[in-house]
Chains A and B, each alone.
Chain A
Amino acid sequence: MTVRALTLAASLLWVWAGVATAENEAFKLRDYCPPSFEESAAGTCELRTLYDFYDSVQGAGLGGTQTALPAHRDGFTPQQIDLGRYLFFDPVLSADGTVSCASCHNPDQGFSDSLPRSRGIGGQEVARAAPTLWNTAFLNKFFWDAHATTLEEQMVGPLFAPDEMGNSPEALLATLNNIPAYQALFQQAFPQRQGERIQLDEVYLSLAAFQTSLISLNSRYDRYAHGYHAALSEPEVEGLNIFRSFVARCAECHTPPLFTNQQVAVIGAPEPEGRPVDVGAQLTYDAPELKAGFKVPTLRNIAQTAPYMHSGRFANLHEVAEFYNGGRGHAVPKGLDLQLHWHISSPNLTDYELDRLVDFLGTLTDESLKPEVPKQLPSGLAPIDGEPQAGIVTTQKTSGDAS
């Protein structure tokens, strides 16, 4: 019997088993780590990347081509990561069952949503654009205005904001605890827990576990960085050199290998027509110097996440490059006093150079570790990974009604 035939037989067996077991059993959490993670002796998943071969000044994870990554979070169990995956795609987390995390952080849209500003329950528009979730494991500041320092702090924002997922902690727990399939899954993910009821911190931890498994570090740029220079075309290498040159200065804030230095910068990007100025990090730090300051976003998978800037003013990367080239402060409204970042200058790049910059940004795309969207969810709702189902209020079902 060939290996192929054996495998086929095995998969048939698996399908049959899935049909035959009870509904709760149908949701069995994975017992292996996601790709790029190694299972430790303790049974947790630890990230391994080629950047582990390098070091960095002060361990900051910033530098040039062959520089270590910043400190990151991992160490969750395979089950916790997989439970997070179910929760992430499940609209049952929102008040009316219409919006999942993936509504605004759609894996097929660079874990963003292609909208200038995201839409929450009932189709309400929120103030800012959805940032990508690729490589969040490495971040120490969250939100455009940097007002959270952990994923757990971050996620209570969208979960409970009235215009995003609109839920409340009590209602969320009541909903989840009412779904036998979730009760079973949480038991699988947290076998040592006391009691049987699902707790908020278990929900948060699982979502953080899943989000920190979204790794994008194997782009064509990375191959170049690790020493394979043919990975980039000549125009792309030209773009890299413009990117890191001290005329454009992109790499000063979008510093490799993560392509963000995780600082707040005031760049004076314009709001979309008719929108008021967003003061951003001024409120976070209570500092007028940081008025209209926003966290420097990663540029990994940036080609997948148009439109750009905190409120989606720019439709494509060329427009972004033109903005930076347009002269220091050229888009700041008259009378608005901003302390612009010192690297915002007037580089006078040619159109040819702007095109090369855009070419280079395209080399930062790597979605090879895009997670699988669950085919069905413990809640019985359809997984949502796209436009929220604006205005449609569905009755929540339990897994007993599934499929």
Chain B
Amino acid sequence: MNIGKILAVVLVLAAFAGGMIIGKGSQEDAAPVVVESAGSGATYSGGFTAKDNEFTLSGNSKSVAGPPMTDVVVVVKDGESIQQAVQNAEPGTTIQVMPGTYKETVFIDKDGIRLIGVIKGSERPVLDGEGELNDAILFSGNNIVVENFKITRYKGNGIMSQAGNNWEIRNNYIVDTGVYGIFPQLGQNGVVEHNVVSGIEDAAIYVGMSDNVHVAYNDVYDSVAGIEIENSRHAVVESNRTYNNTGGILAFITPGLPIKTTYDVIIRNNFVLSNNHVNFGAPGSTVAGIPAGTGILVMAADDVVIEGNIIKDNKNAGILVTDHSHAANVTIDPESEPNSDRVKILNNTMINNGYDAINEIKALMLTELKTGNPDIVSVGPSTDSCIINRQQYITVGLGGYGDCDFSNTATIGNYLLPPVPPREIKPGDKGKIAYLGICAGCHTYTGRMIGPPVQIIQALYMDNPQGIADYIANPIKKRDDYPEMPPQDYLDEETRLAVAEFMLGVKK
């Protein structure tokens, strides 16, 4: 077989494997394939195919926290403590906060709390950290709503969550505050919308290690990163305005985090303007490596769709796609895949980007004999990525990109779910798990441990589980030869009775 034939065979195989890929170079010489604007072509079917995705809300406002669990409303007035109200509140309480200045950290470790600022005229409640307090609002509960606050001068974050599901963070004005303005982390199903965030030394809005997130209608400026979707999946970032940040909108995998992937992110219909702020990120932070003037940055994330954005006056590049090895300031992580694969760039309006690109990009332009200012730059491997109407942009490094076979994401409203229900626990399991998780530490069936044997307890309370349930909530010292039992009143009444019933049925 001669060499010509091998080459031909390889080319055919490559074209077959890549769907519509044609050899590098030839695409820009031939007459361009023109795909009409959104609405006419085929529609992206999305990477998220879970059955729950049938849930799509109409309108702009998204309710994932569900309606209030109770009709209890508590009002906090200027001079009172929001935290005190949270502490006193039962799950399901709506806490209305009147205009005034509140100098405190509010933490919510219970479910269903709706923290709603009351706006009167132009006045809204202000959380002021005075440059001394750490975070303004921090929650770990589920179904939490935080609305209508002004938050300023905190050292840490404005609003952060740790593992809460079904959150809504809406209509807040967060200015000159610490590291992240809004930082939901390790949760599922959340909305961040209609917030104004500025003057943040890392990301103004930072979605970290989360699933099913919607970030919309926010105004973010004067920060290092505008909106960052990091190690997260099923996120829509739409209709935000990001300007005068170092980088506008980011979809990242940060290596070294315990959740290793970012995929299925739609970035659409945003204004991404003049993100040329000098980088003032903390030394060593991932965002400190972002070149100033980067509109949209994709690093190692997969299945990112970029559609319908107005990307204007970003001096380094309009869109920069990179792998880990070409990025500054990132460590290595053998467990995370370093390339940005299956990036899909649809129609975007791009004006006057890349007029002061970093040297690495200029060098890349030279190697491809490109002139002008780059709108779209891709460095490092990027498998199965695609673009439509590439002739409308100045691009570099996109030789391997095929033509997308769709032009819009019109059928995907959002990736939100109905409020994620708490795991269903059968009453029997409740008793068993509490028994094994707690009681078994001090009681065995026959033997003496810290507490008396279960056999003896069974003999005493044979038909009286309620007696055990009452006793463990408020134990008294009964036996000289055993230490006094600590109260188990942290278990709710139902669990106490369930565990008592289970204990009476234990057989070994």
Binding site for B on A (CB under 8 A): 3-4, 7, 10, 32, 35-39, 48-50, 52-58, 60, 62-67, 217-218, 223-231, 241-242, 244-248, 251, 255-256, 261-266, 285, 287, 289-290, 328, 339-342, 344-345, 348, 368-369
Interchain nearest-CB distance for B206 vs A (Å): 10
| A3 contacts B459, C-beta separation under 8 Å | yes
Complex CA gap A218/B332 in Å reads: 36
Interchain residue pairs with CB less than 8 A apart (13): A3-B455, A4-B456, A7-B453, A10-B446, A35-B436, A35-B444, A38-B436, A53-B425, A65-B163, A227-B110, A246-B157, A340-B284, A341-B331
Q: Which of B74-82, B178-186, B269-277, B402-410 contacts A (4 or more CB under 8 A)?
A: B178-186
CA distance A46 to B256 in the complex (A): 31
Q: Which residues of B sit under 8 angstroms from A62, Cβ to Cβ?
A: 163, 186, 209, 258-259
Which residues on B sit within 8 Å (CB–CB) of A225?
109
Tell me if B's interface is mostly helix, strand, loop or mixed. loop
Give the shortest distance, in Å, between B461 (CB) and chain A (any CB). Answer: 12
How does the 8 Å CB contact mask read for B93-130 relative to A, with 1 for contact and 0 for none?
Answer: 00000000000010101100000000000000000000
B289 to chain A, nearest CB (A): 10
Residues of A within 8 A of B490 (CB): 223, 226-228, 230-231
What sequence of 0s and 1s flags, for each residue 388-429 of chain B, a beta carbon within 8 Å of any chain A beta carbon? Answer: 000000000000000000000000000000001011010001
Bound complex: CA A225 to CA B110 (Å): 9
Q: Which residues of B contact A3 (CB under 8 A)?
A: 455-456, 459-460
Alpha-carbon distance between A49 and B87 when the two chains are bound, in angstroms: 26
- B164 part of interface (Cβ distance < 8 Å): yes
Q: Which of B140, B332, B432 makes the CB contact (< 8 A) with A289?
A: B332
Complex: how many Å from CA A148 to CA B445?
38
For the complex formed, measure the closest distance between the CB of A206 and the CB atoms of chain B, giving whole angstroms. 22
9 cross-chain pairs, A with B, having the tightest CB-CB distances, nearest first? A228-B490, A63-B163, A64-B140, A64-B163, A64-B162, A246-B156, A35-B440, A368-B441, A245-B134
A36 in contact with B436 given A60-B259, A246-B157 (CB within 8 Å):
yes
In angstroms, Cα B50 to Cα A290, docked, is 37
Q: Is B155's CB within 8 Å of the partner chain A?
A: yes
Q: How many Å lie between the Cα of A317 and that of B442 in the bound state?
A: 29
Chain B: which residue is nearest A55 at the CB level?
B423
Q: Is A63 touching B109 in the complex (CB atoms < 8 A)?
A: no
Q: Is the CB of B162 within 8 A of A244?
A: yes
Q: Taking A36-B436, A287-B332 as given, write out 4 further A-B residue pairs in contact, using a Cβ cutoff of 8 Å, ordered by the A residue number.
A: A65-B162, A241-B105, A342-B282, A344-B284
Chain A hits for B164, CB < 8 A: 64
Contact between chains at B284 and A65 (CB < 8 Å): no
Given A224-B109, A247-B135, A263-B257, A7 and B332 contact (CB-CB distance below 8 Å): no
Contact assessment for B284 and A246 in the assembled complex, using a CB-CB cutoff below 8 Å: no
Please tell me if B283 contacts chain A, counting CB pairs below 8 Å.
yes
User: A64 touching B186 by the CB < 8 A rule?
Assistant: yes
Q: State in angstroms the CA–CA spacing of A227 and B259 once bound together.
A: 26
Asked if B508 is an interface residue, CB under 8 A from chain A, the answer is yes
Q: Once the chains are docked, how many angstroms separate the CA of A366 from the CA of B138? A: 26
Asked if B85 is at the interface of the complex by the 8 Å CB criterion, the answer is no
The answer to whether A65 and B109 touch (CB under 8 A), given A57-B209, A340-B284, is yes
- Closest beta carbon of chain A to B443's beta carbon, Å: 8
A46: nearest residue on chain B (CB-CB)?
A: B436
Q: Which of A50, A217, A218 neighbours the largest number of chain B CB atoms within 10 Å of its CB?
A: A50
Q: How far is the CB of A239 from chain B (nearest CB, A)?
A: 12
Shortest beta-carbon distance, A372 to chain B, in Å? Answer: 9
What is the CB-to-nearest-CB distance from A248 to chain B, in angstroms, rounded to a whole number? 7
Q: A53 and B433 in contact (CB under 8 A), knowing A64-B164, A66-B163?
A: yes
A36 touching B162, Cβ below 8 Å: no
Contact A285 B334 (CB under 8 A): yes
With A37-B436, A218-B437, A246-B135 as contacts: A229 and B87 at CB distance below 8 Å = yes
B188 located at the interface, meaning its Cβ lies under 8 Å from any Cβ of chain A in the complex: yes
A165: min CB distance to chain B, Å? 30
Chain B residues near A218: list those with CB within 8 A.
437-438, 441
Q: Which residues of A contact B437 (CB under 8 A)?
A: 36, 48-50, 52, 217-218
Task: Give the residue name and chain of the B residue nearest to A37 (CB).
Answer: B436
**Which residue of B has the minimal Cβ distance to A284?**
B334
Whether the pair B187, A57 counts as a contact (CB closer than 8 A) is: yes
For the complex, what is the distance from the CA of A255 to the CA of B185, rounded to whole Å? 11
